[in-house]
Structure formats: structure tokens, C-alpha cells
Amino acid sequence: MAFSFPLAVAALSDILPIESVVWGDQRNDELSGSGDARTWAANLADPLWTAEVGLPPGYHADMKEIAAVIRKLQGPRNSFFLVDPLSRYPKSDPIGSILGSSTVVIDAIASDRQAISLGGLPANFALTRGDKGQVNYSSSPSRTWFFEVSETVTANSGGEVTFEVYPTVPLLVAVAAAVILKKPACKGFIMPGTFKPGTAADMFTRGAGFTFMERR
């Protein structure tokens, strides 16, 4: 198998037996007055998704396999897709069977780029706050927008729904782009120096993990 980067979900994300995760975002704001609570903020760069991933103890052979794929990323050089282990599927569809093979696309983008309208959902499909989604856009390099649903909504009988998202829809994302709601993945890399292959002792390798950072 030839490796093609960014590594697809099946190549790495699916083989990670994630035990613990801190899935958050890194804000890139400048602040003023945070000492006296009259805080002003200005955003210096778009926020990025980040995750601290811990892997459970495992047999040496299994953990060695994971470490081999991660090393193949060559540190921060190559990217991979990581599924948020807390949001593999929408809350209302825990195994993805309702979504089935429906083709979900962006029908419209609000002018302030804080909300999107989706089409092609199953009728009356519910999206819950905290559900995640993925949109691939642009080419060479291809880019990924990993977003979070900010409000709980239900699609109409035609499978259309409008809701606010976080973060802001990138300017290059256009109407008719395909939206992935089943196992949406965030494209990113492993922060330099954070990958620990784990300590092998007795029968198990313990303490493996890494810090993931989105790459836009």
C-alpha cells in the first residue's frame, strides 16, 4: 500500500484505540485588560481544533503497529485525518444508519458566514449541538473545514435545515460542497515533540499518546 498524505481515516484514525481525549480549540486572540476584567479581545488568527490523545495500555505488538504508522507521518511534516472520538456520528443517529447513503450538500451560506443550510438530509433528521461535520474544499492543496453544529435543529420533510456553526465558514467554501456527517474528520498533524510511543514493560506498553493540531 502506498502511503498518500494526508492519511485517510481508515489508515490511522480507525486503528487508534483512544482511551482519553481533550478535544478543544486553540483561540488565537490578543487581549487587553484581562487583569482588571474589562477585557477586550481581537482575533489575530482563526481558531484551530486541537486534541490531546491518550492511548490505553496494550500488547507490545499492537502498540508497535500504531507507533509505526505515526512515525511514518515524519513528525509534523505530514497530515492525517482524525475523527473526534466523542462525535463519530450525530447524536440522533448513533450508528449512522438513518443517514445511510444520503448525499448531504451545502445549500446556502449566510452572508456573515456564521450559518449554513444543508440539503439532502433524511426527512426530519435532527442535528444536535456539538455534532461535528467535515467539508473538503479547494484543491492543491486540498483544505478541510471541520465544524461544529452550534444549535439543535430538525430538518424539514425535504431534508433541508439551517443552523449556526463554529468556526466561521472559510471564504473558499462554496455552495454545493459535500458535507460529511458520518465519521467527520479533522485534518491535522502531531505537534512536534508530543508523540510518545509508550513505555514497554512486562506484558504491556503504557502511556502512549500525542497532541493533535489542526492544519488549515
Partner 1 sequence: MRSPASAILSAINAARDSGLAIRWSVTIWPKDRETGVRTAFGFWTGDDPITTSVISGSTGNSETRSYYGGVNLSVPPIPRTSDLTVQSFEISLSQIADAVQTVLRGYDARLAPIEVHVWVLGASGAPVSAPEPEFIGIVDEAGITTPAAGGDGKASMTIVSEAMLMLTRKNPRKRSDEGQKRRSGDRFGRYSNTAGYTRVYWGEDAPKDTTNPPKNGGGDK
Binding interface with partner 1 (CB under 8 A):
29-30, 40-46, 111-114, 138, 143, 168-172, 192-193, 216
Q: Give 27 or 129: the residue with its C-beta nearer to partner 1.
A: 27
Least distance between partner 1 and beta carbon 187 (Å): 12
Number of CB atoms found within 10 A of residue 153's CB: 17
Least distance between partner 1 and beta carbon 163 (Å): 16
The alpha carbon of 85 is separated from its chain's Cα centroid by a whole number of angstroms, namely: 9
Do residues 76 and 194 lie in contact, with contact meaning Cβ atoms separated by under 8 Å? no
Q: Give 91 or 216: the residue with its C-beta nearer to partner 1.
A: 216
Least distance between partner 1 and beta carbon 189 (Å): 13
Q: Give 15 or 175: the residue with its C-beta nearer to partner 1.
A: 175
In order, the DSSP letters of 112-171 are TSSEEEEESPPTT-EE-TT-EEEEEE-SSS-EEEEEEE-S-EE--TTS-EEEEEESPPPT
Least distance between partner 1 and beta carbon 82 (Å): 18
CB-count burial class (<10 Å; 0-12, 13-18, 19+) for 60: middle
Least distance between partner 1 and beta carbon 204 (Å): 30
Greatest Cα pair distance, the chain, in angstroms, is: 59
Of 82, 147, 76, nearest to 118 (Cα)?
Answer: 147
| Single-letter amino acid, residue 151 | E
Least distance between partner 1 and beta carbon 169 (Å): 8
